[in-house]
Amino acid sequence: MVLARGVYDYIVVGAGSAGCAMAARLAERGKQVLLLEAGSKDTNPVFRVPLLSILHGVLVSRKYNWRYFSEPEPALEGRTIYQPRGRLFGGSSSINGMIWVRGHPRDYDGWAELSNDPSWSYEALLQYFRASESKGAGGATTFRGGSGPLRVSPLRWNHPLSSAFMSACCEAGLKQTDDFNSGNNTEGVGFYEMNQHEGLRVSASHAYLWPNLHRDNLHVKPDSLVTRVLLNGQRAVGVEFQPFKGGPAEKAEAPEVVLCGGVFNSPQLLNLSGIGPRPDLEAAGISCIHNLPGVGKNLQDHLDIGVEVSNPSCESLALSPWALPMMLRAPLQFVLQRSGPLTSNGVDAGGYLKSSKDIPYEDLQMHFFPGSFRDYKAAGLLGHRFALNVYLSRPRSRGTAKIVSGNPREHLQLHFNFLEEKADQEALISGVRQVREILKQPALAKFRGVELLPGDEVDSDQGILSFIKKHCKSAHHPIGTCKMGLDDHAVVDADLRVHGIDGLSIVDSSIMPTHVTSNPYSTVMAIAEKASDKMLAT
């Protein structure tokens, strides 16, 4: 059917992380909301089991994952880089690693400068970070929320190797912290907090959407692919969509359209609607209605590289006879106690480093993995080993997400241009050297065998750089393709409204002008809380 004009106050496109929060907050305040999602409902119980949801959603599923791949990356020996993105209620929050960290306050103060709007400073954003979370241990504080929808808690099970890693960090001179999300605390190492409650994943869908589905003013349509924004001159008036697997098109109209499709789908939908760089649109056979050069530009991601060592004492996660007792206990631990390896995200500990003493604050983040899943292949689990991964938190290299077709089912061409900037190369080389030193500390000596990657023989800067180019991967944190700001390549203003188009906003990771020193999920939720608050105030 064609949905009636004037029924909705808002149309929200995408029931991912930001979309769930936007739709819920608007509906809670009595607005008539239509939420359209290309994927399915997240009713499969596997998505509540932390370790299984990651393995299934990231590595196996084609039904619940958009499965993007970059074009061959010139600086990475022509390799294509995998980018999983969730296609279901909750989006990537239903398959991500659940790590809940905010990054450094200076990240957000930089956004305030770029947008010339102090409401994007960390001090101003703090209320929205707090509004989104409910910290299970300790409750509300000056920096932490105690009653938000997203439950945040320490893991109920930590791998024994992770504790040894923490001791090794202290031996290497790093300080330990109990809370990365208090004040200016992106320094040192600690156990990460997770979006979990009693051992179960708490996605944006379970936190925001499901508790509001009973509302008569919230209408949700899964398996609905939005193909374009409907425009009347320079104003958005609705959207056109169709069943994801194909079928007749439908239209829905509203005075406000909010795109929450994420870093790839939001710029693509703008392009399909005739909004974007004129040369790219015309080359794809799309009439340019509004020339907006920055759409699809400014693509950034955290590039990840791991130093891997053997584990001859066989404590690490692996498929082996020595791991069989742990594997057999795991289902019972989960069912009876909501504990054990199935509640883990696989990287329960980590921290932050500086690539150089000359920089003002940390630009590298570590994740300790008590196992290996090298290149997303099961072969990485056939042998006991563990790895310390480091990624570049604030990359200088910039890429593009370019439309090549008017077919909404054809993915954008992704060119990340990883390691294009020499400063990024130097920072990751420093990161490899530092995590190597941590792995050599006495606390890990009884667990550690030989260095498998890059290998002790690789010690020169050029050798380490070659190793990085051959083995690095994405940390799955892409952002920036519809950036907020005032310059010629900005796509949205400080209120997240698309420049030059009335009634059209973007609320997701694509609006982030620069990357943050952390996993970006908590940042996306704060953006959504801020955006909904602003919309409801106008």
**Tokens standing for residue 6:** 């004037």
Domain identity same for 465 and 518: no
108 in a domain, yes or no? no
103 in a domain, yes or no? no
Domain identity same for 387 and 467: yes
Domain identity same for 293 and 356: no
368 in a domain, yes or no? yes
Domain identity same for 284 and 306: no
What is the C-alpha to C-alpha distance for residues 38 and 221, in angstroms, rounded to an integer?
Answer: 9
Question: In this predicted structure, what is the pLDDT of residue 453?
Answer: 96
Domain identity same for 174 and 246: no
Residue type, 127: Q
516 in a domain, yes or no? yes
Residue 15, C-beta contacts closer than 8 angstroms, at least 6 positions apart: 23, 35, 36, 37, 39, 89, 90, 91, 205, 209, 220, 222, 260
Domain identity same for 368 and 382: yes
Range of the domain at 199: 48-81+117-204+300-474
Q: Is the backbone peptide bond immediately before 408 cis, with ω within 30 degrees of 0?
A: no
What is the C-alpha to C-alpha distance for residues 1 and 461, in angstroms, rounded to an integer?
Answer: 62
Domain identity same for 147 and 75: yes
Domain identity same for 195 and 323: yes
Question: In this predicted structure, what is the pLDDT of residue 323?
Answer: 82
Threshold 0.85, pTM exceeds: yes
Domain identity same for 197 and 133: yes
86 in a domain, yes or no? no
DSSP-derived 3-state class of residue 152: strand
What is the C-alpha to C-alpha distance for residues 54 and 92, in angstroms, rounded to an integer?
Answer: 10
Specify the CATH number for the domain of residue 278: 3.50.50.60
Catalytic residue among 367, 411, 471, 477: 477
What is the C-alpha to C-alpha distance for residues 101 and 148, in angstroms, rounded to an integer?
Answer: 16
What is the C-alpha to C-alpha distance for residues 512 and 18, in angstroms, rounded to an integer?
Answer: 13
Residue 71: closest CA among 58, 83, 84? 83
Domain identity same for 407 and 365: yes
Contact 146/134 with Cβ under 8 angstroms? yes
Question: In this predicted structure, what is the pLDDT of residue 114?
Answer: 96
Residue 430: closest CA among 357, 512, 521, 516? 357
What is the C-alpha to C-alpha distance for residues 475 and 468, in angstroms, rounded to an integer?
Answer: 14
Domain identity same for 330 and 421: yes
5 in a domain, yes or no? no
**Tokens standing for residue 365:** 């983040």
Specify the CATH number for the domain of residue 369: 3.30.560.10
The pLDDT tens digits of the residues spanning 275-306 come to 999 999 999 999 999 999 999 999 999 999 99
What count of Cα atoms within 13 Å lies in the side-chain half-sphere of residue 199?
19
**Tokens standing for residue 272:** 């399909």
H or E element, residue 464: helix 461-471
Question: In this predicted structure, what is the pLDDT of residue 67?
Answer: 97
Total domains in the chain come to 2
Last residue of a domain, one of 474, 497, 529: 474
DSSP-derived 3-state class of residue 307: strand
Last residue of a domain, one of 454, 474, 494: 474
Residues of the chain with pLDDT under 50: 1-2, 4
Neighbours of 36 (CB within 10 A): 25
Q: Is 219 a catalytic residue?
A: no
Contact 430/355 with Cβ under 8 angstroms? yes
Last residue of a domain, one of 474, 490, 506: 474
What is the C-alpha to C-alpha distance for residues 174 and 188, in angstroms, rounded to an integer?
Answer: 5
Domain identity same for 337 and 355: yes
88 in a domain, yes or no? no
4 in a domain, yes or no? no
